[in-house]
A = this chain, B = another copy of it.
C-alpha cells in the first residue's frame, strides 16, 4: 500500500538556510520530497515553503522537529494530504453547484460533499438526485441574526473542512467569517475591485467593457475583498446584451470556482495578509 503523503506548509520571516534546514529535517526522518515550492515575498521578507513528502508518518513529531529548527515566528502546518469534507452553500443558481456535484460524483476533485445548504428550495431536487443531503433554511421569516445562527448550527453539524459559497447570495457576518477564516471559498461575479454592487453585468454592459471576468477568493469580513485564489476572463463585444454577459459570466464563474477549489483541496494555497501564495 502506498503510504499517505504529508504536506508541510511553512511561513516564516526569511533568513539564510531555511530551505536547507527543512529539507535536512525531512531527509533525516526518512522522507522523500515529492513536490517542493518556495517563495520569498520581495516586500515583507517573508518566506513561504510548501513540501509534499512521503515516507514519514508521525505528523506531531515532524511538526515538533520543524518548530525546533525554524525561527520562533514561523507558522508551521503539517497535515496528511487527504480528501476533504466540503459543505456547499447555494441559493438559486445551479451552474456552480451542478458542476461541483458532477465533479464530486465522478471523483474529479479530492473531496466528499457532505451536504448542500440553501436559503431557497430551488436546488433541492438537483442536489438530491446526486444522493447528497439538502438542507433549506429560508431567510424570509427570520431576522438576519436568527437566520445566520440556524445556518451556522447546520454547518457545525456537518463539521466540514471547507465551505464553498456556490453562488450563496447572503452576506455573512464578520463573526461567521472569523469562525471559518480561510476556509470559506466564494466566487465573485466580476473582477475585483471593479463593478462592486448589484447588477454587475448590467454595469459592465453600460460601461461597454470588452472583457468580463470572475474571481474566486476566501471570504473575509469585507465579503468581496478577501484573498484572491484564482481569476479568469471571457471576451465580450457590443453584440452581447447584459443577459448574454451574465450567461458568459456564469461559465467563467463555474470554471474559476472549480479551479480555486482544486488548489485549496490540494493544499496549494497559503494566505499572507490579504493575498495568496499559490504553489501550482
| Interface residues of A, count at CB 8 A | 64
Q: Which residues of B contact A108 (CB under 8 A)?
A: 95, 247, 250
Other-chain residue from B27, B251, B278 in contact with A255 (beta carbon distance below 8 A) = B251
Q: Looking across the interface, which residue of chain B has its beta carbon closest to that of A41?
A: B238
Is A183 an interface residue, CB under 8 A from the partner? no
CA gap between A213 and B24 in the complex, in Å:
41
Within 8 A of B (CB), among A113-164: 126, 129-130
Other-chain residue from B20, B34, B106, B228 in contact with A26 (beta carbon distance below 8 A) = B20
Is A191 an interface residue, CB under 8 A from the partner? yes
B232:A211 contact, CB within 8 angstroms: yes
Q: Which residues of B contact A34 (CB under 8 A)?
A: 40
Other-chain residue from B207, B251, B276 in contact with A192 (beta carbon distance below 8 A) = B207
Contact stretch, chosen from A3-11, A74-82, A97-105, A166-174:
A97-105
Instruction: Evaluate whether A208 and B274 lie within 8 angstroms (CB atoms) in the complex, with A38-B36, A238-B39 already known.
Output: yes
Is A194 an interface residue, CB under 8 A from the partner? yes
A32:B16 contact, CB within 8 angstroms: yes
CB A219 to nearest CB in B, in angstroms, measures 15
Other-chain residue from B33, B231, B274 in contact with A19 (beta carbon distance below 8 A) = B33
CA gap between A280 and B251 in the complex, in Å:
17
- Interface residue SS majority, chain A: mixed
Instruction: Evaluate whether A207 and B193 lie within 8 angstroms (CB atoms) in the complex, with A106-B94, A106-B98 already known.
Output: yes
Within 8 A of B (CB), among A225-280: 227-233, 235, 237-239, 241, 247, 250-251, 255, 258, 274-278, 280
Q: Looking across the interface, which residue of chain B has its beta carbon closest to that of A55?
A: B16
A20:B17 contact, CB within 8 angstroms: no
Is A61 an interface residue, CB under 8 A from the partner? no
Within 8 A of B (CB), among A12-56: 16-17, 19-20, 23-24, 26-27, 31-34, 36-40, 42
A237:B105 contact, CB within 8 angstroms: no
CA gap between A66 and B274 in the complex, in Å:
39
A239:B280 contact, CB within 8 angstroms: yes
Other-chain residue from B23, B98, B192, B193 in contact with A102 (beta carbon distance below 8 A) = B98
CA gap between A238 and B276 in the complex, in Å:
7
Instruction: Evaluate whether A207 and B275 lie within 8 angstroms (CB atoms) in the complex, with A36-B38, A39-B238, A95-B108 already known.
Output: yes
